[in-house]
Structure 1
Amino acid sequence: MKRFFLLLILVFNVYLFQAQDSKYPFQNPSLPVEERVEDLISRLTLSEKVQMMKHQSPAIERLGVPAYDWWNEALHGVARTQEKMTVFPQAIGLAATFDVEGLQKTADMISSEGRALFNEDIKTNKTGSRYRGLTYWTPNVNIFRDPRWGRGQETYGEDPYLTSQMGMAMVRGLEGNDPKYLKSVACAKHYAVHSGPEHNRHSFNAQVDAYDLWDTYLPAFQALVTEANVHGVMCAYNRLDGQPCCGHNELLHDILRNQWGFKGYVTSDCWALRDFAHNHKTHANDIEAVSDAVLKGTDLECGDLYQLLEQGVNQGIISERSINVSLKRLLTILFKIGLFDPESDHPYMSINRTVIECPEHKQQAYEMACKSMVLLENKNHILPLNPNKLKRIAVIGPNANNEQTLLGNYNGVPSEIITPVESLKKRLAGKAEIDYMQGVDFVRPLKEAPSFQEVASRAKKADVILFVSGINANYEGEGSDVGADGYVGFASGDRTTLQLPPVQIELMKELKKTGRPLILVNMSGSVMSFDWEGRNADAILQCWYGGQSAGDAIIDILFGEYNPSGRMPLTTYMNDEDLPPFEDYSMQNRTYRYFKGDVRYPFGYGLSYTTFSFSECSVDTTLSTGKKILYRVNVTNTGKRAGDEVVQLYVSHQANKNKRQPICALKGFKRVSLQPGETKEVMFELSPKELALVNQQGELLQQAGHVDVYIGGGQPYKSEGVFYPLTVTGDVYKVY
């Protein structure tokens, strides 16, 4: 009892000290966040309030409120800061890992590096600098519905389930698990129905019906809000069915706040609110535009118009009470990251810059790069190469020694970037000659360089030719960022063709004539059609934009130090004619779930240096609606090398003949490491949500009928695996 009273006295004294040290109640960390927020709002003028609703929130010196800039990015590492930071593979490459645990670990490392910078700024009273805050506008969970979209590299691919799982992993890694404080703040973007084209995004009106909206475009956002508890959402530039997304009552009020119960903050995309009056022409002027945006639910503006909210209040368009609603959400975030609290109270304030580019983070960047790369072709098992049998290697191509390409877009800059050429020279020094020739630029021949015939003649002296092809973020990316517009095949950051630039294929054709093995290593943020390459290259390795350690990862895969295990997060179509018009947002004949033609490399596809087999386990064959079911399968490594298999579960309702439904849909996946001859049992639990279908009104319903459940190394009929027929009985069960 005596110890209890001593503890009580200690707690009281701490509280008393903090209260005495606080000039205002909002500065007292012992008070509830809600009470602190209300106190601070009560002390602000209207002018101060609206200024704090802009991404560059100024200091309120009379109250001791520090400045804060909300704009920061952490797509695959802390981005755009002047500091040297660890750079992991681009998001589309992270998706190709199909590794939820690995991505969450990566996100946790990213937030640690960002925390280190922010903590320094707090201690030195220098908060307010761009790209130093903890509100990351990450992840991008838009669906990569069309492979021509330049910003698709920022996403987790074409599938809503994969996007949801990877997006939730990113959120959990960034935000941490402390009950009071956020390690950093994630933001699901761009809400919603936003995936190109780039050139008209400020005026584009996306049109979708209820089925596609709820079957394809909203599930990832819903998962991040309702399951991962993401604290931020960014609304998109475009209109949806006539209303700007940042002023869309159904999206922001009805769905996000009311149906999903979102409690966090909503930010506009940068300068999106200027589009209301000037590009979308939906509002008479900027004052009405910003007032409507706040009333519809956009709390923060990335831009320069929210100061006009003061005039909106004075004109009676919006009330100060509505301003307070949005400001409360914003201040709650700032209190949760610890902006107003002493170091001793904060579990994340001890993180310092020793974590930045530490060995553990560099190793994770390398491992995720290895896991991301997809082996598409391996004719006659030419890979892995035996370095003991190679005396001369010709390394050619625009990305063979291009450091910038490895970083993708929305990137940081590390202290060291390892290209394939550098990695080869490092490991084969004194053992083999590395004959590097760039040979060609991305879209045109090099000036004052050897002809293609001369390059091929020199390459013929080598034992093997590595052609490192592709493009980079100068050619595909956000329309306002790309710096190499105007070339054939590209338009405002998007691509107009799935083919590699013709000049690269032309050089490869000359190299093919040498008779030497031709291994294609491709870097891009999307798929290439690989028509000629798929028929003529001896091997193809898709490497995305692999981050700072991509060179080592590529060479380790080529020489068998790492067994390739990446899987395609996108469908590789045969040619451009397979694609519907870019601006058509209907999912009909798009992605593996709805495309009915032949494809070159299917979603979920990827080769290995070993082989795997699947054998069925005993499972239930009937299920009542509204119930869960457990599936098991045995996976065996039947080859001679250790390797990872990505076990994939797909559900198909084709026997039910519904009007609109996917051909099949991914509903589970697990990465499994197996030694030669080893068998592991893999289990999946399917809830009514995974076994339900969206109807024409956008409702997710589980109904009686026949369902095929397939578990294997890829899609049904395109990989080895097992089918589990399931009969569902009972009344209609409404998931939502």
Structure 2
Amino acid sequence: MRKRADDLLNRLSLDERIAMLHQFAPAVERLGIGAFRTGQEALHGVAWMGPATVFPQAVGLGATWNPELLRRIGEAVSTEVRAMRSRDPRVGLNVWAPTVNLLRDPRWGRNEEGYAEDPALTASLAAAYTRGLRGDHPVYWRTAPVLKHWLAHNNETDRDTTSSSVPPRVLHEYDFAAFRGPVEAGAVAGVMPAYNLVNGRPNHVSPYLREDLRRWTERQLVVCSDAGAPSNLADSERYFDTHEEATAAALRAGVDSFTDHDQDSSVITARVRGALERGLIDVADIDTAVRRLLTMRFALGEFDPELDPYAGTGPESFDTPAHRQLAREAAEQAVVLLKNDGLLPLGAAAGDRDGAAPGGGTGPGSGGATAVPGDTAAGAGGAADRVAVVGPLADVCKLDWYSGSFLRRSTLREALVERLGAGRVVYADGDDRVRLRCASGGWVSVPETAEVSAAADEGSLNPAHAEGRTDLPPVTAGGDPAELALTDWGGGVLTLRAPDGRCLSVAADGFLRASADRPGGWVVQETFALEPAPGSGGAEQALRHLGTGRYVTVTAEGLRAAAEDASGAERFAVEVTERGEDAVARAAAGAGTVIVAAGNDPFVNGRETEDRDTVALPGQQDRLWRAAHAANPRTVLVVSSSYPYAVGDAHAALPAVLWTAHGGQAAGTALTRVLFGDVSPAGRLPQTWYASDADLPDLLDYDIIGSRRTYLYFDGTPLYPFGHGLSYSHFRYEDLVVERDGEELTASLTVTNTGAVPADEVVQLYARAVEPRVPRPHRQLVAHERRRLEPGVPERFAFTVPLAALGHWDVAHGRHTTDPGRYELQAGASSADIRLTAALTVDGPPPQPRPVLGSGLEAACFDSSAGAVLVDRSRVRGDAVAPADGTVPARLVYRDCDFGGAGTGTGAGRITLHAAREEPGTAVVELALADGTPLGEAEVECTGSRYSYRLVSVTPADAPRGVQELHVTLRGPVRLARLDFGPGGEPREPSPAAGGS
């Protein structure tokens, strides 16, 4: 295929080659080449192209801990991609999935898109999903998966301008590891760089693309830019002066496909031509990128339709019974039982009729509480036989930005009605019911209309992308007062639903209409905030529309988001007709068991472009479970969310707590089957659930070792640990045996289901260094397996673990190493529930100190730091170190530095610093040994540029000798790239890597 790609490349004109660098590559009719676009979202189903099978969110798939399940889901998704393409050529075969960014911080707005906080689990699941997306043919690919988002991307706050400071150990042991696993597994077609910078350099010009990523495989990986990121290089990031320089740098760094200016390719192609004319790139740079793109297209069978085994995939392969069953299986496997004091499974105690569908049903509703007519109602028993399902997630299936539209769906309420019958299900959504009286006169009124939203029509695209409707009458300030359902999603962010169940939304003309099925869109137009009106003392409120930032006013045509500030806003008196917790308490009191369905809306308070500022459960939802529990102690909390919450009070008070990510089209059915014991829950947490915000360091601190972040390093007590999840059965772990064969370890153990029901168990194997010389994880996942176990039948689990998995990145020598010493392999049911431990000893020569006297010292390779960040040594490659805040000293520690001269009169008689300072004035670099012995200090004057390094020497009064710990303090804005040590004489010139670009 590479030869064929070269042959085709040589037949293309230069203009035709340049045109292929844009996401939307035009057809080349003279050669019979069709149009092609990179980028079809397929994170948990085919997205953005209309109805498709919707699987659980990626973080929910992570909770399954089941690579084989993800392989099958990838196969189903890619089959639907092919099937949809057969009827719609807009559907692309280059799929942008999965997201392998590690869930380092649960406040990340895109937490729903990742698999886990652990690199080994993430790599395992991503490799499996890409194998499914790729297909199993030895030559042709069903789809071509691209991993997102390279690299160290875990914040939305200022995501295009913030820099992730990633020390070498974190880079190699953590962030690289999540990508390297699936790339080496062989089913990855490419990667997408992230918007952020890493160590001061934008990911779209990252040297790691060339120096690391492309060395992990012999395949010609395609690098697709994120949308608009090429322009960011010269615009928001101001990393380059011109777009031609930026485009050239990205192309040279390895970006092959430019996703910019939507379908208008003229801007990018003009920049490429401009860069070529200025000599910033040459034709070979263009050819390299086009060759990679053509090779991918050949692998997709584009030029061999008669040989492509997937070319005949048609509509019959879409929304198949097998895909529906798989969606339900995935949703069931994703459910995590966090706590259970014996209330679950519900079974006959909650009126279960063995799953028999009773006929009839309530369907989706929007009222407060659905009352059941008395105990003599047809099909109804007493209150003890009823189940109350309450809360804002009780009767909804949520989509997210990367979902397709629902072909079918199952809410928790619908599934309970199907199982128990309408007479045995009591419902309350938990929303406050409010009316708004206008100070200018009249009540807010919603005109009645027979129209329904067109967003869910069979042929439409994802309703999350739909524009606001203007064909419905606006909300007015006259007529009968509308009772609105107010949902408070936390932080004062509200949605308001009209009596017909539709959300108030604002279209391009600014008018409020009851026109949306749900919040959605790149800019959500369905969220509001109530704020005290100026001068009212809190008696009246101004209504701010969060999508536009404008305040609502009253006009003759209707309510409109038009005022720039609160002084021009309409003043509303808010009349609460019923509190949501009162409706929930009433429903709970009339039932034998209560299920409180809490969680988030994926478009509100945490999503792409928006991080969360707290892990606390929204106050309204906190009140709901408390009201339910006060009325009925048999209360279960079901959290359906894209991320963890701190629910410590609920854990302490309630008999049962479950979590699931938004479970896709089968969410309600899956939850119901778990609640009633048809399925024993076996989901495991893919990330730590912290007890409070106080457990979390700054969102932008990417040094997981220094900040003691994730289960690997967290020193506190989490609410729920990584890997946690309970079962309706019990398991006995026995006989852990570890054997070594060369560079591989084999760990085997026996696990027996000692309970009464068949159930899945997830056996987790961790490694731990007993007496490490450098900070190491408390324990680190090295293997796992999910397996169904029958009661009373012992089964043997065996894991093969490379010896290197015990090691770490040695910053002193720039390589991966496994230190000699004592280690443990630990088998358990979670990172905090270790059942068996086996010890082993690794022999070998002792670690060698840093040979600084002959090799010098790269400043970025410190062992620990305080107040420092890594920055770009040049625009092209290399790292330097600088104070995070120029007014606060940065301190660096380098352990085990061999200065030579032990027992002699020699040693490091001269220390030479490679330093740069852009600002006028002087910075100071201080050098000392660990015992406080000063080695001297150097003043660094302005060098004219952050990339212009000068050599500054320090001559210690007493040359350090032997193996010592070096401390370096940076005072003032300065970049330190390197230190050289010698017996004296003139310092050598800076290495080329230290120069400017």
User: Partners in 2 of 1:479 and 1:92 — Cα distance?
Assistant: 15
1:268 aligned residue (180, 204, 225): 225
* Structure with greater contact order relative to length (CA < 8 Å, sep ≥ 6): 1
1:348 aligned partner: 310
2:982 aligned partner: none
- 1:259 to partner: Cα distance: 5.7
1:645 aligned partner: 761
Q: Which amino acid aligns with 1:479?
A: E
What pairs up with 1:64-79 in 2 under 5 angstroms?
64-79=32-47
Is 1:420 aligned with 2:412?
yes
1:13 aligned partner: none
1:596 aligned partner: 715
Q: Which amino acid aligns with 2:734?
A: S
Is 1:220 aligned with 2:178?
yes
User: Partners in 2 of 1:531 and 1:729 — Cα distance?
Assistant: 45
User: Partners in 1 of 2:123 and 2:249 — Cα distance?
Assistant: 30
- 1:382 to partner: Cα distance: 4.1
- 1:262 to partner: Cα distance: 5.1
1:708 aligned partner: 824
1:89 aligned partner: 56
Alpha-carbon contact 2:240-2:246 (below 8 Å) kept: yes
Q: Which amino acid aligns with 2:118?
A: D
Alpha-carbon contact 2:597-2:640 (below 8 Å) kept: yes
User: Partners in 1 of 2:577 and 2:773 — Cα distance?
Assistant: 59
Range 263-272 or range 690-699, more displaced? 690-699
User: Partners in 2 of 1:384 and 1:461 — Cα distance?
Assistant: 17
Structure with the larger strand share: 2
Range 571-580 or range 422-431, more displaced? 422-431
Gapped regions of structure 1 (runs ≥ 5):
1-32, 122-126, 481-492
1:100 aligned residue (40, 44, 67): 67
User: Partners in 2 of 1:200 and 1:445 — Cα distance?
Assistant: 26
- 1:260 to partner: Cα distance: 5.1
Gapped regions of structure 2 (runs ≥ 5):
262-266, 353-383, 433-486, 498-575, 849-997
User: Partners in 2 of 1:368 and 1:540 — Cα distance?
Assistant: 20
1:470 aligned partner: 599
1:581 aligned residue (685, 695, 698): 698
Q: Which amino acid aligns with 1:392?
A: R
1:479 aligned partner: 608
Q: Which amino acid aligns with 2:24?
A: Q
- 1:464 to partner: Cα distance: 1.4
When normalised by structure 2's length, the TM-score is: 0.65
Q: Which amino acid aligns with 1:337?
A: L
Q: Render the CA deviation track for 1:473-524: whole Å, top value 9, x for unaligned.
A: 11255434xxxxxxxxxxxx21111111111112222222213411111111
- 1:453 to partner: Cα distance: 2.4
1:158 aligned residue (117, 124, 129): 117
Q: Which amino acid aligns with 2:787?
A: V
Is 1:333 aligned with 2:296?
yes
2:801 aligned partner: 686
2:833 aligned partner: 719
1:295–1:430 Cα change, 3 Å: closer
Range 231-240 or range 685-694, more displaced? 685-694
Give the SS at the match of 1:279: coil
Q: Which amino acid aligns with 2:185?
A: E
What pairs up with 1:289-328 in 2 under 5 angstroms?
289-304=246-261, 305-307=267-269, 308-328=271-291
Is 1:605 aligned with 2:724?
yes
Alpha-carbon contact 2:736-2:836 (below 8 Å) kept: no
Q: Which amino acid aligns with 1:104?
A: R
2:749 aligned residue (623, 633, 642): 633
Give the SS at the match of 1:586: coil
User: Partners in 1 of 2:607 and 2:217 — Cα distance?
Assistant: 29
- 1:561 to partner: Cα distance: 0.8
- 1:594 to partner: Cα distance: 0.4
Q: Render the CA deviation track for 1:569-608: whole Å, top value 9, x for unaligned.
A: 0101111001000011110311000001011110000011
- 1:341 to partner: Cα distance: 2.4
Is 1:536 aligned with 2:495?
no
1:570 aligned partner: 687
- Count of equivalent residues: 670
Alpha-carbon contact 1:613-1:720 (below 8 Å) kept: no
1:181 aligned residue (113, 121, 140): 140
User: Partners in 2 of 1:200 and 1:69 — Cα distance?
Assistant: 28
Is 1:555 aligned with 2:513?
no
1:191 aligned partner: 150
Q: Which amino acid aligns with 1:673?
A: R
2:13 aligned partner: 45
User: Partners in 1 of 2:328 and 2:297 — Cα distance?
Assistant: 34
User: Partners in 2 of 1:430 and 1:137 — Cα distance?
Assistant: 42
User: Partners in 1 of 2:652 and 2:7 — Cα distance?
Assistant: 69
- 1:651 to partner: Cα distance: 0.3
User: Partners in 1 of 2:34 and 2:139 — Cα distance?
Assistant: 21
Q: Which amino acid aligns with 1:641?
A: V
Alpha-carbon contact 2:430-2:584 (below 8 Å) kept: no
User: Partners in 2 of 1:110 and 1:423 — Cα distance?
Assistant: 25
1:3 aligned partner: none
User: Partners in 2 of 1:554 and 1:259 — Cα distance?
Assistant: 41
- 1:731 to partner: Cα distance: 4.5
Range 428-437 or range 656-665, more displaced? 428-437
Give the SS at the match of 2:213: helix
Q: Which amino acid aligns with 2:842?
A: V
Greater CA radius of gyration, 1 or 2?
Answer: 2
User: Partners in 2 of 1:317 and 1:88 — Cα distance?
Assistant: 45
Give the SS at the match of 2:251: helix
Range 70-79 or range 57-66, more displaced? 57-66
1:16 aligned partner: none
- 1:425 to partner: Cα distance: 1.0
User: Partners in 2 of 1:449 and 1:410 — Cα distance?
Assistant: 37
User: Partners in 2 of 1:713 and 1:436 — Cα distance?
Assistant: 36
Q: Render the CA deviation track for 1:532-571: whole Å, top value 9, x for unaligned.
A: 2111222111011111001000001111111100000010
Structure with the larger helix share: 1
- 1:413 to partner: Cα distance: 1.6
Alpha-carbon contact 1:153-1:477 (below 8 Å) kept: no
1:512–1:173 Cα change, 3 Å: same
Range 226-235 or range 667-676, more displaced? 226-235
Q: Which amino acid aligns with 1:722?
A: L
1:346–1:462 Cα change, 3 Å: same
When normalised by structure 1's length, the TM-score is: 0.88
Is 1:109 aligned with 2:76?
yes
Q: Which amino acid aligns with 1:201?
A: R
1:460–1:523 Cα change, 3 Å: same
- 1:120 to partner: Cα distance: 4.3
1:28 aligned partner: none
User: Partners in 2 of 1:446 and 1:278 — Cα distance?
Assistant: 38
- 1:721 to partner: Cα distance: 1.4
Is 1:671 aligned with 2:671?
no
1:399–1:574 Cα change, 3 Å: same
1:118 aligned residue (58, 82, 85): 85
1:450 aligned partner: 578
User: Partners in 2 of 1:192 and 1:632 — Cα distance?
Assistant: 35
Q: Which amino acid aligns with 2:198?
A: L
Alpha-carbon contact 1:702-1:733 (below 8 Å) kept: no
- 1:617 to partner: Cα distance: 4.4
1:371 aligned residue (312, 333, 343): 333
- 1:408 to partner: Cα distance: 3.3
2:402 aligned partner: 410
Q: Which amino acid aligns with 1:472?
A: D
Give the SS at the match of 2:803: coil
Q: Which amino acid aligns with 1:324?
A: D
